[in-house]
Structure 1
Amino acid sequence: MIMKEDRRFPHRHEVLQFMKTKPALVIFIVLTYAFGYLTAYYNHVPPSTTVLKTVKATKPRGSLVDNFRVTTRCGDPVPPESIRQTVIDKIFNGTSPYVDFPPPHAGKYLRSKRIKGWGSYGAVFENLIRQVKPRTIVEVGSFLGASAIHMANLTRRLGLEETQILCVDDFRGWPGFRDRFKDMALVNGDVLLLYQFMQNVVSSGSTGSILPVPFSAGSALEKLCEWGVTADLVEIDAGHDFNSAWADINRAVRILRPGGVLFGHDYFTAADNRGVRRAVNLFAEINRLKVKTDGQHWVIDSVNVT
């Protein structure tokens, strides 16, 4: 039987005939150019972009939460009686900021006493000061000093004459705060909050127990840790959004002495909608601690976080 010719592929002589045509020549030139281009490209690409390393993922040791912990070691603890001078030396070049206060350019704008605070006189302050008998208190978020001055008065009344209160605040307020505090002066962009805070401290007779630490919470707490400045009582009352509260709590706990107490405002206020309570609860849950409440304040004691 004669098989029907298979026409799926051209015969050899047909291929040779095609190779002699102009279209074949054009295709050959294009393919040659493309091959040369690709060869040159791969020969000149830097090794760092062509050599890929496969990194085997390793299972983290312990809890996944460990990846979020700050493990930097703080400096050796400064004795409580040396903390005030340590801060004056590190921040104010060895001279108390109350010397020759107020400066001439600011004095005429300051009230003799201008104090405003939120939750600054709650029972929690006296309750904790009686309980802890702190030698050092760090307040994160001071504004015009209402709660700091209240705590200074309490320590004097309770016979804790040596207690030092460090007030961490950048004393810049917040964008638009002068819409609410129209009487605050503005001098070349400076809202003079630090000077009014200091004036309030002077008026209350508390210059020997209250020192401003005029920097952001993050940078100040990191430096206090580095310098070995620790506290028996730390109050968190600065930024009221979740991220700020979470960061401040986790930084502040590093400067807390064993047996110290961490507390803060706005656990039961409108600011909770922005995340204060969520930050506090998450910190307590991760570290297996209990949150207590005292009025609008939250309290975490027996803190032992590594």
Structure 2
Amino acid sequence: MSEMRAELVRKLWHGHDPFEGFDPTGIKVDMQGWGSTHPYLVTSVHEIRPALIIEVGVWKGRSVITMAKTLRALGIPGLVLAVDTWLGSSEHWAIPNMFADLRMKQGYPSLYQTFMANIIHEGLQDLVLPLPLDSGNASVLMRAHKIRAQMMHIDAGHDYRSVANDILQWWPLLESKGIFIGDDYRVDGHFPGVRRAFDELAAAGGLELEHAPTKCRIRKP
């Protein structure tokens, strides 16, 4: 276990590892995701060798797995902190076929159990920690504990207000020289709020924004 992981278990989980005693028996491994193996998620780890990566908006964990596997392959004693409520977003509740993906049990989504089982299936428990909070409360907790990351992947809400709020909350918690990655940055008219929010971040700071299909990336001065 890395020093970073041990520190966060102590601070955020009050010493109780969330994977301890979790039984994945009977939980189907499900690696469904979108853009979860994007080159930015891999090349950014190679570039800055982060001790802490924070992903906001996790779903079933496939992109977390991509980044954690890269840490492992490079021998980096780092950690991916996975921030999500695991309750889905508005579109998952509004669209029937997406609602089915929530795998309801007694009216409550079981995404968290799927995520945990996926991480265990890949043997990545020592490189991953879940934080089951909404974006705003999670960022407050990070500030309270003075926790900052070298790399972030923002993939929660897709409307302008949600994305702008995530940027407002998390950009200050990224260390200098860190990399900020946004998901669903599109130039084809889909998710215009995502593009607008990240464009505004870059413009306000005079920062370079690069993008490749479905994601953007900004380096913090």
TM-score, normalised via structure 2 length? 0.90
Deviation at residue 185 of structure 1 after TM alignment: 3.4
Q: What amino acid is aligned across from residue 93 of structure 1 in structure 2?
A: H
Say which one has the larger Rg. Answer: 1
- For residue 226 of structure 1, what is the aligned residue in structure 2? 144
Match of 2:126 among 189, 208, 226: 208
Q: Residues 95-137 of structure 1, C-alpha deviation per residue, up to 9 Å, x if partnerless?
A: 111111138xxx54x21x1111110011112211111111110
| Alpha-carbon separation, structure 2, partners of 1:193 and 1:271 | 29
Residue 79 of structure 2: which of 136, 140, 164 is its match?
164
Q: CA deviation at 1:284?
A: 1.1
Amino acid corresponding to residue 277 of structure 1 in structure 2: R
- Superposed displacement of residue 295, structure 1: 3.1
**CA drift at 1:82:** 4.3
Pair 1:141-2:20 in alignment: no
Is residue 116 of structure 1 aligned with residue 32 of structure 2? yes
Aligned partners of 1:141 and 1:236 also within 8 Å: yes
Give me the whole-angstrom Cα distance separating, in 1, the residues matched to 2:189 and 2:4. 33
How many angstroms does 1:258 deviate by? 1.4
Q: Which has the higher contact order (CA 8 A, sep 6+)?
A: 2
What is the CA–CA distance in structure 1 between the aligned matches of 2:147 and 2:100, rounded to whole Å?
36
Q: In the aligned structure 1, how far is the partner of 2:115 from the partner of 2:189?
A: 23
**Unmatched tracts of structure 1, length 5 or more:** 1-80
SS at match of 2:138: helix
Say how many residue pairs are matched. 217
Q: Distance in 2 between matches of 1:187 and 1:240?
A: 26
Which is strand-richer, 1 or 2? 2
C-alpha deviations, 1:187-246, integer Å up to 9, x for none? Answer: 233211111100100000000001101000111012112211111101111101101111
1:1-306 equivalent positions in 2, closer than 5 A = 82-102=3-23, 108=26, 110-111=27-28, 113-160=29-76, 162-174=77-89, 175-176=93-94, 179-180=97-98, 182=100, 184-268=102-186, 272-301=190-219, 303-304=220-221
Q: Retained in 1: the 8 A contact 2:40–2:181?
A: no
* CA–CA distance in structure 1, aligned partners of residues 14 and 137 of structure 2: 18
Residue type of the alignment partner of 1:281: D
Identity of matched residues, %: 29
Question: Which runs of 5 or more residues in structure 2 are unaligned?
Answer: none
- Separation of aligned partners in 2, 1:228 and 1:139: 17
After superposition, the Cα gap between the structure-2 partners of 1:300 and 1:136, relative to the gap in structure 1 and judged at 3 Å, is same
RMSD: 2.0
